[in-house]
Each structure stands twice: as C-alpha cells, then as structure tokens.
Structure 1
Amino acid sequence: MKPIRVLIVDDSASVRTILTEIVAAEPDLEVLGTASNPYFAAEKMREEIPDVIICDIEMPRMDGITFVQKLMSQRPVPVVICSSLAEAGSKMALQALEAGAVEIITKPRVGTPQFLMEAKTRICDAVRAASKAKVQPRTKTIEVQKKLTADAVLPPARGRPIERTTDKVVVIGASTGGTEALRRLLEDLPADSPGIVIVQHMPAGFTTAFAKRLNTLCQIEVREAATGDRVVPGLALIAPGNHHLLLQRSGAQYHVEVRDGPLVTRHRPSVDVLFRSAARAAGANALGIIMTGMGDDGAKGMLELHQTGARTLGQDEASCIVYGMPKEAMKLGAVDLELPLERLAPEIRRFANDHGPRPEGGAK
C-alpha cells in the first residue's frame, strides 16, 4: 500500500519539525512537504496534492479556518486542524469543523515521554482516519470570527506624546514558551526593579497559580492583577486569564484595570491591548518587551509604543521557543533592539537608571 502523503502547514518552525518527525516515523505515513502559511501550501499543492493536510489555525497572511474554507470550495482535501486554540468544544474548533475540517487535535507540547507518545498516537491516528474521509466540495461560506484589533477595547493614543519623567514602567507580552522565559527573566531582577505589567497568554484558572509560583522564586513581588492595583517598583502584575489588562495613569501614579471584552488578535488577554494602553498612559516612560510566542499579538501595539518614544525590545530568535510575535514586531519596525533572553533583565536595570532621551532607532 502507498503511504499516506501529508502536508504540514504551521508558521512555527519548531512545530513543523516536531510534526515532521512524528509523521515520518510511521511506515504508513509520508511527509509530502511543509509550509509556513497557506500561501506557500497552495504553491506546493500545484505540484502535488497531499492525501491529508495538518494545519494550524493562527498563521500569518491567512488563518487556518479561511484556508480550510478555500480548500473545500476549490479542491477538497481532508484537513486535520492541529492547534492550541482549537480545544475540543471551543468556538474555533466548531468553526473549523463547520468549514470542513475532519478532525481537531491539540498541538503537541514539550513534556514527558509519555505525553509525547500519547500526542504522537493521537496525531497519527487522526491522519489515518482523515485519509479515509470523503470530503465534499462546499460552496456555503462559514462566518469566521473576525480578527479584531485593539480598537475593540480602547482607542489609540491621541494628542501630544507623554514626555519623559522619572516614573517608569515595564510592559511585557509573551505566549508560547513564555512561562519559562518569564521565570528566567523575573528571577534575574533585583527587588527595586521598575513596576512591571505582564500579559502571558494563559487560560482562566492558571494565572493565579503561575503568579504564586513566580512569587516564591523572585526577589520582586509577583501576583495576579486586579483592577486598581498600583504599579510600583518591585512589583510585577500578571493579567488574569481570559481578561484584558490595561495600564492606566492617575496623576503621577500608574495603576491597572482588568477588563472584559472580545478577543483581540484572537487572544484575551491581548498583548496589543496592554501595549496600546501603555502608549496612552506612559509613552516615553515605558519599556516594552515582546517575547517568545506564536502569531502576531503585540506587534501593532509595540509599534504604537515605539511611536510614542518608548524603548522597545524583542527576544531574539535563538532564545525563543517560537519566534513569532517578536518576528512580526520586527517586520513592522517596532523593535529598537533584539536581545537574547539572558540580556533582557540587564536591559531593564539599565532602563531604570537611564534618565536621558530614548536612542533613535537602535540596532536591529
């Protein structure tokens, strides 16, 4: 029997590598090719049509659900959605199935050998089942959840930029790989570090425990944010899962607001929302840091921060688990400087002691 030919479509190089290794290890499966987005996948399909496509949801240029819709209306191929956003029963999982996907599986993460073995089994079984599916052309357009910008939560900064003062704040955004990266960053900070506000993409119920764990490891205090919490030196506030977190200013003092609202760049909390609020409230008094993560959340918000005179840093590709969010911010010209993870804490300390004007541009 001919092996089942699989095309893997995911914007993360590390995920493409993991999926390739999993599929290629099976004698009845074959990796036809990989693509970082649906446009490259379409180019590969002009040469040869795969038996099954494994596809992420959140990707640059075109999301996975739209890709599935186009496939089903033009050249139906069985699609297995493999995404951390498409957990069983979620709205996106249902949208993917309505668009024509035949199976939904959770993206494999680094874990114990047993976990990886279970993930391997689920993925390969899903591919085998999908190869037998009789997919039919679909002409009906499924309404896909619109990818909202930070405009859905708060308007952009207006008027005269906020001038540089001695009141400084650090805003940080992270996603995939961010829990460990944040631990390493915050552990390296002294107790008198500037106040820090963090968005880490995590579901509700997890951020409280995450903050408590960090609080036991760090010299600074770390806790889950609540509306009205002041942003003061020696304190890091983490956005509660499933809620946006905004930086606000009242007189000379910063505080945070926890706010409900729609998904922004398909996330809640959203880094774009935090960074925009920092552009409005702090401007040149802020240091923005975008860290490891998939997708583009935070890129536009960081550009707004940069345009107000804030210092902006990106975690470099070599130290990122997934070089997605920093990469997209770099593309927009929003990042002053890219640094390896271990150099971010010293840069925060330098920022705390720097009272001069922000350097124009900076090394890329």
Structure 2
Amino acid sequence: MKPVRVLIVDDSSTMRHLIGFRLRSDPRIEIVGEASNAEEARRAVNTLSPDVLTLDVEMPGKSGLEFLAELMRLNPMPVIMISSETQKGSAAAVEALSRGAVDCVGKPRSGELSDAFKALPALVVAASTAKVRGGAGAPTGPTASALRNFVWNNKIILIGSSTGGVDALETIISNLPENCPPILITQHMPPGFLSSFAQRMDSRYAPKIAVAEENALVEQGLVMIAPGGSHHLTISSGTRTKCKLVESPKVCGHRPSVDMLFNSAIPIAERIVATLLTGMGNDGAHGILRLRKAGARCFAQDEESSVVWGMPRIAWMNGGAEKLVPLRAMAPELLAATERGVSAVRRSA
C-alpha cells in the first residue's frame, strides 16, 4: 500500500509542526508539503497532488472555509478541518463539514500539547479512501416531503454516525416533519463542534434540535444530540423515557459512543428503530445487533452513499442491519418505521 500523501495548510508554524510531528509517527503517511495561506495551498495542490489536506479553518486573508468552497468546486478531495473549539471556530468547522470536508479535529488547548492530534493519523488514512462530493452542501430547509402529515406510532429513532455524518444527518433531518418521532443521535465529534452542530440544525430544519441533557424527556418533535466530552448519551427504560448522561471511559475508542446508546435501549427494543450511518471503525455494530435480536427495527446506510463505509458495513456483515438504505431514502424509511399503520404493513410485506 502506498503511503497517504498529505498537505498541511495552517498559518501557524507551531500548528504545522505539531500536526507534522503526529503524522510522521505513522508509517502509512507521507507529508508532501506545507502551506501557510490559501494562495500557497492552491499552488501546492496543483503541483503536489496530495491525497488528503489538513486545513486550518481560521486563516488570515482567504479563510479555510472560503478555500474549501473553492477546492470542492474545482478539485474535490478529502479534507480534514483543523479548528479551535471556540464558538466561532466550531461553527465554521461544522459549516465546512456540511460543504464536503470529511472530518474535523480540535486544536489542542494549553497543557494538552503532549496528546495533540493523537487521533489525526487514523482520520487521515480513513479520509484517503473517502468518497468526496463537490457541490453546495446539505439542504438549508425542510423539503416538500418533510411537510406531509405524520402520525407517530410511539417508536423512538436512534442514530449513530461518524466520518461524513454531518452531511448525512442534515440530509435526513431536512426531510423530517416538525412533529417527527423522538430522535437521539450519537455523532463522533469534539463537544464544542457538537454544540455548534445542534445550533446550526435547529436554525435550519423543522424539528426542535438540541444537545441532550441529563433527564431530558424523549418527546415527539425533538431531536437530541449526544454532548460528548466526558459523557456518553444513553436512554432510560422507565415509564417516561429520558436521556441519561453517563460519565465513563471511551467505548470502541469513542466518547460519545454509539454502542453505549444502542445497548442502553435493549430493554425497550421493540419501541426502537436504529440506524448506523457513514463512519470509520465499528462503534455501534455490536449494539445494533443486540437491538435487532431483541426486536428493534435496524438499518444501515449503503456503501454507495457513505463517505466511509465502516460502521454500517460491519453492521450489515454481522446481521445487525436488516436492510441497507441509500442516504436519500433514509428519512422516508425511518418515518415509515415510526408511523402509525405503516411499519406493520412494511414488515409483513
């Protein structure tokens, strides 16, 4: 296997050094060049033809977001955004993910330099195999299909996603009505980015979208996203279903973990509709299998529409997913499984 050729784009020499130090530790990666601004990056892309870019969101002059838009229009390629987790930085990073960037990584805070960019080599290798699209990004508002009448059958949707998940989730949620079934989402991202992601979607789409809080009621019309940080999102199985935030170590290398969410729902599996979307690794594949065996409806995103067909591939291979679904068909599939009078008909067909 040839090494993944990486171009590092960042106006800070310190950040370029930290990123380079971490990437050079992985023999699967070759750093072919560095650039400190968009003009240098444009020339380097044309002359070096890298496989993957790491791109600073907050560069002076033409920002990383502006350069990404230009790159995706003229020469789409895998890009990993590097950003601070300030409100401004994380909002720009989430916008970049919606515009086609593959993943995002937070810049290290003071005192965290020894662990800086620890996950970046694996992300770069995964990004080198990603399906990258150009274009304008996810829809900006509810589509016509999202405005149809919907009668909920009391089932809850659980979604797990990772690399490429921002665009996938926006595509799904843009096709949901205001009175959609309750939805809990675990997306692998740093906590600052997750908060910005929830705010962005809440301002654009029909359902109410928020970061999950301890003991928040799981209700119709509400989409809740795992906050990450030191906590996993789980679900209670009492009379009134609630969100529970569990402070515990990483699971499958992640916090928040999809498996933690899926496994917590096994006691109420017959009320659950679960799906795994695009992402690297295997988080959620074991949990979705257990859910299906306990009576849940379970789906996975198909290979063609996945940016990285890792998590959904394993769920399909181990029997956890009953059906592979293209991204554009996922919202209708989930609504059919949670709509009164429709799910039973489809299941017996």
Match of 1:80 in 2: none
Note the 1:163-312 alignment, pairs <5 A: 166-242=153-229, 243-251=231-239, 253-280=240-267, 282-312=268-298
User: In structure 2, the residue corresponding to 1:275 is in which secondary structure?
Assistant: helix
The answer to whether the Cα contact below 8 Å between 1:309 and 1:358 also exists between their aligned partners in 2 is no
Runs of 4+ residues deviating >2 angstroms:
5-9, 19-23, 25-31, 83-96, 103-110, 354-360
The answer to whether the Cα contact below 8 Å between 1:86 and 1:106 also exists between their aligned partners in 2 is no
The answer to whether the Cα contact below 8 Å between 1:292 and 1:323 also exists between their aligned partners in 2 is yes
Of the three residues 345, 348, 356, the one matched with 2:344 is 356
User: In structure 2, the residue corresponding to 1:244 is in which secondary structure?
Assistant: strand
Q: Once the 2 structures are TM-superposed, how far is the Cα of residue 8 of structure 1 from its aligned partner?
A: 5.0
The answer to whether the Cα contact below 8 Å between 1:86 and 1:105 also exists between their aligned partners in 2 is no
RMSD value, Cα: 3.9
- Does the C-alpha gap of structure 1 residues 21 and 313 become closer, same or farther in structure 2, counting only changes over 3 Å? farther
Counterpart of 2:160, as a letter, is: G
Instruction: With the length of structure 2 as denominator, give the TM-score of the two structures.
Output: 0.59
Cα distance in structure 2, aligned partners of 1:233 and 1:194: 5
Aligned residues: 235
Tell me, yes or no, if structure 1 residue 318 matches structure 2 residue 304: yes
Cα distance in structure 2, aligned partners of 1:345 and 1:267: 26
Match of 1:344 in 2: 330
Q: Once the 2 structures are TM-superposed, how far is the Cα of residue 271 of structure 1 from its aligned partner?
A: 0.3
| Deviating more after overlay: 237-246 vs 86-95 | 86-95
Q: Once the 2 structures are TM-superposed, how far is the Cα of residue 107 of structure 1 from its aligned partner?
A: 2.5
- Please give the per-residue CA displacement for 1:251-301, whole angstroms capped at 9, x wherever unaligned: 1x2110112110000000000000101113x21110001000010000001
Tell me, yes or no, if structure 1 residue 334 matches structure 2 residue 320: yes
The answer to whether the Cα contact below 8 Å between 1:93 and 1:104 also exists between their aligned partners in 2 is no
Instruction: With the length of structure 1 as denominator, give the TM-score of the two structures.
Output: 0.56
- Does the C-alpha gap of structure 1 residues 94 and 351 become closer, same or farther in structure 2, counting only changes over 3 Å? closer
- Does the C-alpha gap of structure 1 residues 292 and 30 become closer, same or farther in structure 2, counting only changes over 3 Å? closer
Gap runs ≥5 in structure 1: 10-18, 32-82, 97-102, 111-164
Cα distance in structure 1, aligned partners of 2:49 and 2:165: 33
Cα distance in structure 2, aligned partners of 1:269 and 1:250: 22
Cα distance in structure 1, aligned partners of 2:243 and 2:331: 22
Cα distance in structure 2, aligned partners of 1:187 and 1:173: 17
Cα distance in structure 2, aligned partners of 1:357 and 1:307: 20
Larger-gyration structure (1/2): 1
Q: Once the 2 structures are TM-superposed, how far is the Cα of residue 356 of structure 1 from its aligned partner?
A: 2.9
Gap runs ≥5 in structure 2: 6-28, 34-44, 52-102, 129-151
